[in-house]
Structure 1
Amino acid sequence: MLPAPTSVTPDAAPQATPAQAPATPAAQTVPAGNVTTPPSPATTADQGAPPQQATAPATTPDTNTPPASTGTSGPAITPPAPAGVPAAGGSDHADAASPPPAPGTEPVQTVHKDGPASTGSSPVPPADALMSDAGAPAALVQDLRPPSVVLDGLFQAIGEAHIYTDAKTAADAIPDEAPADLLAEYNVAKQRPDFSLKDFVARHFTLPERKTVSYQRTPDENVRDYINGMWEVLSRPPDMQVAYSSQLPLPYTYVVPGGRFSELYYWDSYFTMIGLYENQKIDLMRDMVRDMASMIDRYGHIPNGSRTYYLSRSQVPFFSLMVDLLAMHDGQVAYTTFLPELQAEYDYWMDGQDSVPPGGAYRHVVRLPDGTLMNRHWDDLDTPRDESYPQDIATAAQSGRPKGEVYRDLRAGSETGWDFSSRWLADGHTLSTIHTTDLLTVELNCMIPHLEQTLAHAYDLKGNKDAAARYNRLAQERIDAVQRILWDERRAAFIDYDWKKGESTSILSGATVVPLFMQMATPEQAKAVSETVRKNLLKEGGLIATERSGSGQQWDSPNGWAPLQWMAVKGLNQYGYDELASDIAARWMGRVIGTYEKSGVLLEKYDVVNPFISPKGGKGGGEYPMQIGFGWTNGTLLGLMNRYPQNTRVVLDRNPAADQPSPQPLPPMNPYGVQSDNDALSRYSQPTVTLTPRPVAPTPILPQMSTVGASAPSSATQIPPAAPAVNAPSGTPPAAPAAAASTEQHADTPSPAADGQPAQSAQAAQPTAADHAPATETPPAPATVATKPTETPAPPATGGTQGVSEAHDSGTPTTKDAPATAQPAQPAPADTHAGSTDKTVTGENPPATH
């Protein structure tokens, strides 16, 4: 074990309080006094900047204190950030040597009906700058603040009153007028003695349009027919930006998970894409990768999901594996096309790496006392999650800890994808003891070296041998760290590491298979993991998420999840434990198909411990009811059925209503060896589609704009500055001031550093001009804002064997309150059903597919 850090003290996050400032009025020019230019680095050295070795005594050790007000009556609001979208017709990625813009003069995108986007230097354009010649606004840069800030006061009241049975519905509901006007009306109306919040919400909010198509199951339908039919139910066309909506519009067709999850989600999408690959729906899979790239271009990273309230965090970074999967069909052009986005993804996760001292942390980066660089999960906000607002308030109230600290750990827990699990709980069972930001997780620290390997391969294709060598070296260093720090010899498993305590946690989980899936375990470690999995995690219906039961969290026993089964099967296969892999696949298929036999649906998760198969999949657990659909279950089940036709035959014989012969598996394929044919090259040379606009609103719309970046405010009133978009200049940041950190040197709360530009290693191989050449596809231009859509309610789920549609919260206001490495020697190439690959560190040998 590594020694515990001696210079790190517990985080000093202040108690978060609800935001008090309404959004800037949307239909008028923003007064100059309501816009605060970010203070210069010299005046904010104590505001959470990446820690530096101080040359003078630090006088302000509280790194979570928000920047001081500039003297205006309103809260400090950052100037609008660039939308991150270049002018129509191009996708220029500026050379890294370009200097960053001066604070407060970031370019603002404006779009006019008769021409491409233009870039200005004014922090906030006047209202008439967004007006067409006819007097109507030509376009709008979307307000990226979460609804809890935009609708401050009203949003909190809706949560407290439990107007909707699912708190996420309040975050997705669309106001019928500019938020500032709506807040003003609310503040007057609530003073009346006969005021009804339920009626007010019903009058002034529209629930998002739901796709009305449902999948009607026929009596003789089989499980493959169900999966094929559900692609239509779960697919969404390119988005049209809607005024005041929290939805982040996407330019291409995409697949949602299902149920309450009616937007694109990051790590879910990779496992969904496996099914698209198996079904040979390559165009749809490619569109989803392009949507992910579009979000990187616009926001500097892929958010947790395509909602404004997810922008302050990401999820486990599977983007490089998605590019692998696409390259298995399209060839090497996939790597070179998405190189700028791969690089931006890496920069987001490694922001601050060169400034963090031993024993310190900044955003996602942690440097251990021995100098080893690792990653943790993080969220730039420390307020209740919009999608679970009342629940988070209740959790923080029970903790006895600073509320902001609890909120950030809840948010970071959501970024893991395991929301929630005993893995993140200090006492193993109480949610209010969550301490996610203290943990170096197995999955995250395996995905970062894979991203480095992918960058090495892409730079090698571009001819930049220095950059390729650098990223191969970084990947090897991280793989060594995974094998050394995350390996628990006593438990014979890979375990999350508490970097503040300097020791492994006590929770054994299915994440122990991830280093095998990524081919980052030694042969000896893989053997030990296989025995641990067989003895401790394998149950009647597959692998349990953790050994811990009774926590009430959905990512604990007795639940099993599709991603874990897939990664376990693939990982064990790659190290030669085929019998165990086959056994896990058979048990999981038996549970999933057996449930389908009784219910006619596939679900988000399953009870894999109970020998009795429930048509509801089990008791569920967690923050919301069982969800049907379901993207990653559909995708991985199809992959396993194709991979194990004999096991599938046995399972289907036991479940005749789900029966259909399995086709022959697709042949093995190495994505590094797939050459791009003329069709693939022509597809990547086509211009990117733009978001389809609806008619513009008849009155000027100009809400305050902001994106989430390096700063982590301590309350909802403080909006972090923008992260640099891929196409924005990103030069070498200026040196931090001498008194940038206190002697605590933990700086768990970031602040604007180098004007929001990520730090870059002084030893990094400088990318060549060719590496930053424009990609062949064009990121979408900002979309024209539409008026409020007509409400279209979702059809009710018919259930049983009669039919299935997406299970959405009806959104109907209720009067009843809801309850509060040494890598294995040359492993043989596996088949394509994994949909991803791991690269050898040297870059010389082809990888085995996952």
Structure 2
Amino acid sequence: MSGKRTEPRDVERNAAKVATVAQPDTLTPADRYQELFVAVQSGRVFPDSKIFVDCAPLQDPEDILDAYRARKSAPGFDLAAFVHAHFRPEHPPTGRYVSDPERTLAEHIDYLWGVLTRQPREHPVRSSLLPLPNPYVVPGGRFGEMYYWDSYFAMLGLAGSGRLDLMRSMADNFAYLIDTYGHVPNGNRSYYLSRSQPPVFALMTELFEAHGICHALRYLPRLRKEYAFWMEGADELRRNEMHRHCVRMDDGALLNRYWDDRDTPREESYREDVGTAAQGRRPVHEVYRELRAGAASGWDFSSRWCDDDGGLATIRTTSILPVDLNSFLHKLEAQISQLAAAGGDDASAFEFSRRADARRRAIDRWMWSEAAGAYLDYDCRQGRQRERLFASTATPLFVGIAGPSQARRVAEAVRSRLLEDGGVGTSERASGEQWDQPNGWAPLQWMTICGLADYGEGLLSREIRRRWLTTVSSHFRRERKLVEKYALQLPPEGAHGGGGGEYPLQDGFGWTNGVTGRLRHDGAHPAVARPGTES
């Protein structure tokens, strides 16, 4: 599919739109409302911790806090009544995501793009929502803002549905976030500013160019700025030292980990984090940092980040070097090199090619397991690779840094250890967390299907695609909706939505729609159309 490229006058018009974006309130709800925030979240005024932090205040926040301080000690003070008098909840009803019985699955996906689109004029004043200049797609359910890595997988479906207008708008939104904050936050909420998510903007820029939205070179300054965010402090690190996202290995190689700049409970999951920290023996601020870093990974949460014999209270995300994060950063380095060369900056092209090659060698050195025939996360604390296999093992294939023999062995490992009735499994363990058995997730299906196909493992790639589409279609026929995740071990009655984690199963759902729509759109081809390989 192709679309009209953005002309220079369009760029100027978009730049003018960016200049008119409302000034954001970057104070988080906890910072803004202080003891009122703690009282509301601890007192369970809302059943979901995220509802309050997403509320729109009905008057100036400072006046609300002053009023609370003046009244809270009065006899008969009703906290819930006070909150409902001063805030408006923003969460939409879940019924919006259920299909008209007359619609096919493809028609339902096309219809949902309108339901999931948010407009800048709809941004509530003085809320935690960070204003954006252009329309954007949200995941759905409790997730009423734009999320970083979710958006890439939603864009795949937007392309298949011919919604290049939304892709163009979202491209400029991500550029705006990087320009404004120096990185792409987890989502466009003030309480997400202290962390990012899997860095997939480089993949987005390829997608924009492949579909004729704009030249990827336009985004080179933003790619470099994002790279600086992920590598801040790396040059000063000595061997076996860590700083924020960066880790210097004992052989001098640089690798990365997930990180969050704060060490307080996540505001959107305040009660859950306080409860988790209370179960452990560590200082609570250490647990909060690890939970936040786990949220930055997108895999929130999984046994992947925990001690083998413990639950979520043992989480230690910042000790683990993830296969997928480092694969995405290799892609970012390679994309900067390629675009710098296209722009005539040979020195930068050479430097980033060198960095990409060094990271590829480091991934091979520290994360490739000859014994397992797979890529495994590396545990800095224990000084060894993690033993359990996760679907992230396919990411080096997805970004093209595996050797042919490595790809064959990864395919064997996926087939023997992760393949389930309904698609590729997330992990080998049922922990009660949502990024583990029995759940399957759309982004992991896409990356595995594409990575295997790119290395000639078409039979397995097609089988995973068939099983996943059967799972989604079966659930849609019965429930008339698409959901965030699916249980892949199918009961006799057919596919059902996944479970586990800290909140109920969500309807919508952006990346499920995107991946499913794109896989259906690409028909029976063994290799799904990819940027750089499309006809």
Return the TM-score normalized by structure 1: 0.59
- Counterpart position of 1:525: 406
CA distance in 2, matches of 1:307, 1:399: 29
* Matched AA of 1:532: A
CA distance in 1, matches of 2:260, 2:484: 25
CA distance in 2, matches of 1:343, 1:279: 31
- Counterpart position of 1:234: 116
Q: How does 1:728-739 map to 2 (within 5 A)?
A: none
Q: How does 1:92-491 map to 2 (within 5 A)?
A: 141-208=23-90, 210=92, 214=96, 217-239=99-121, 241-330=123-212, 333-427=214-308, 429-491=310-372
Per the alignment, in what secondary structure is the counterpart of residue 261 of structure 1?
coil
* Matched AA of 1:633: T
Per the alignment, in what secondary structure is the counterpart of residue 289 of structure 1?
helix
Residue 634 (1) aligns with residue 513 (2) = yes
- Counterpart position of 1:643: 522
* Matched AA of 1:343: R
CA distance in 1, matches of 2:101, 2:489: 30
Of residues 595, 606, 611, the one that matches 2:486 is 606
CA distance in 1, matches of 2:67, 2:157: 48
Deviations 1:589-629 (A, max 9, x none): 111100101000011100001333557514x1101111111
- Counterpart position of 1:585: 465
Over aligned residue pairs, what C-alpha RMSD do you find?
2.3
Aligned residues of 1:542 and 1:565 also touching (Cα < 8 A): yes
How far is the alpha carbon of 1:525 from its aligned partner? 1.0
How far is the alpha carbon of 1:90 from its aligned partner? 10
How far is the alpha carbon of 1:210 from its aligned partner? 4.6
How far is the alpha carbon of 1:543 from its aligned partner? 1.1
CA distance in 1, matches of 2:324, 2:337: 20
Q: Residue 567 and residue 216 in structure 1: after superposition, are their counterparts in 2 closer, same or farther (change >3 A)?
A: closer
Aligned residues of 1:239 and 1:252 also touching (Cα < 8 A): no
CA distance in 2, matches of 1:189, 1:316: 44
Q: How does 1:634-713 map to 2 (within 5 A)?
A: 634-645=513-524
How far is the alpha carbon of 1:211 from its aligned partner? 9.0
Aligned residues of 1:211 and 1:233 also touching (Cα < 8 A): no
Per the alignment, in what secondary structure is the counterpart of residue 330 of structure 1?
coil
Per the alignment, in what secondary structure is the counterpart of residue 366 of structure 1?
strand
Q: Residue 216 and residue 406 in structure 1: after superposition, are their counterparts in 2 closer, same or farther (change >3 A)?
A: closer
Q: How does 1:564-575 map to 2 (within 5 A)?
A: 564-575=444-455
Per the alignment, in what secondary structure is the counterpart of residue 211 of structure 2?
helix
Q: Residue 220 and residue 530 in structure 1: after superposition, are their counterparts in 2 closer, same or farther (change >3 A)?
A: same
CA distance in 2, matches of 1:637, 1:346: 30
* Matched AA of 2:443: P
Return the TM-score normalized by structure 2: 0.93
How far is the alpha carbon of 1:488 from its aligned partner? 1.7
Per the alignment, in what secondary structure is the counterpart of residue 624 of structure 1?
coil
166-175 vs 422-431, greater mean Cα deviation: 422-431
Per the alignment, in what secondary structure is the counterpart of residue 486 of structure 2?
strand
- Counterpart position of 1:625: 504
Aligned residues of 1:591 and 1:613 also touching (Cα < 8 A): no
Residue 563 (1) aligns with residue 443 (2) = yes
- Count of matched residue positions in the alignment of Structure 1 and Structure 2: 523
How far is the alpha carbon of 1:193 from its aligned partner? 1.7
Q: Residue 170 and residue 90 in structure 1: after superposition, are their counterparts in 2 closer, same or farther (change >3 A)?
A: closer
How far is the alpha carbon of 1:299 from its aligned partner? 0.6
Q: Residue 510 and residue 243 in structure 1: after superposition, are their counterparts in 2 closer, same or farther (change >3 A)?
A: same
CA distance in 2, matches of 1:310, 1:373: 26
Deviations 1:623-645 (A, max 9, x none): 11111111111111112112334
Aligned residues of 1:235 and 1:253 also touching (Cα < 8 A): yes
Per the alignment, in what secondary structure is the counterpart of residue 506 of structure 1?
coil
* Matched AA of 1:316: P
Aligned residues of 2:450 and 2:528 also touching (Cα < 8 A): no
CA distance in 2, matches of 1:187, 1:238: 33
CA distance in 2, matches of 1:444, 1:424: 14
Aligned residues of 2:177 and 2:183 also touching (Cα < 8 A): yes
Per the alignment, in what secondary structure is the counterpart of residue 563 of structure 1?
helix
Deviations 1:189-232 (A, max 9, x none): 11112011111111111123759994674443211011011111
Aligned residues of 2:98 and 2:481 also touching (Cα < 8 A): no
* Matched AA of 1:568: T
Deviations 1:45-81 (A, max 9, x none): xxxxxxxxxxxxxxxxxxxxxxxxxxxxxxxxxxxxx
CA distance in 1, matches of 2:259, 2:98: 42
- Counterpart position of 1:722: none
* Matched AA of 1:347: A
CA distance in 2, matches of 1:471, 1:610: 45
Aligned residues of 2:519 and 2:528 also touching (Cα < 8 A): no
Per the alignment, in what secondary structure is the counterpart of residue 150 of structure 2?
helix
CA distance in 2, matches of 1:266, 1:310: 11
Q: Residue 520 and residue 212 in structure 1: after superposition, are their counterparts in 2 closer, same or farther (change >3 A)?
A: closer
How far is the alpha carbon of 1:449 from its aligned partner? 1.1
- Counterpart position of 1:689: none
CA distance in 2, matches of 1:211, 1:624: 16
Aligned residues of 2:399 and 2:451 also touching (Cα < 8 A): yes
Aligned residues of 1:239 and 1:249 also touching (Cα < 8 A): no
CA distance in 2, matches of 1:187, 1:470: 56
Per the alignment, in what secondary structure is the counterpart of residue 354 of structure 1?
helix
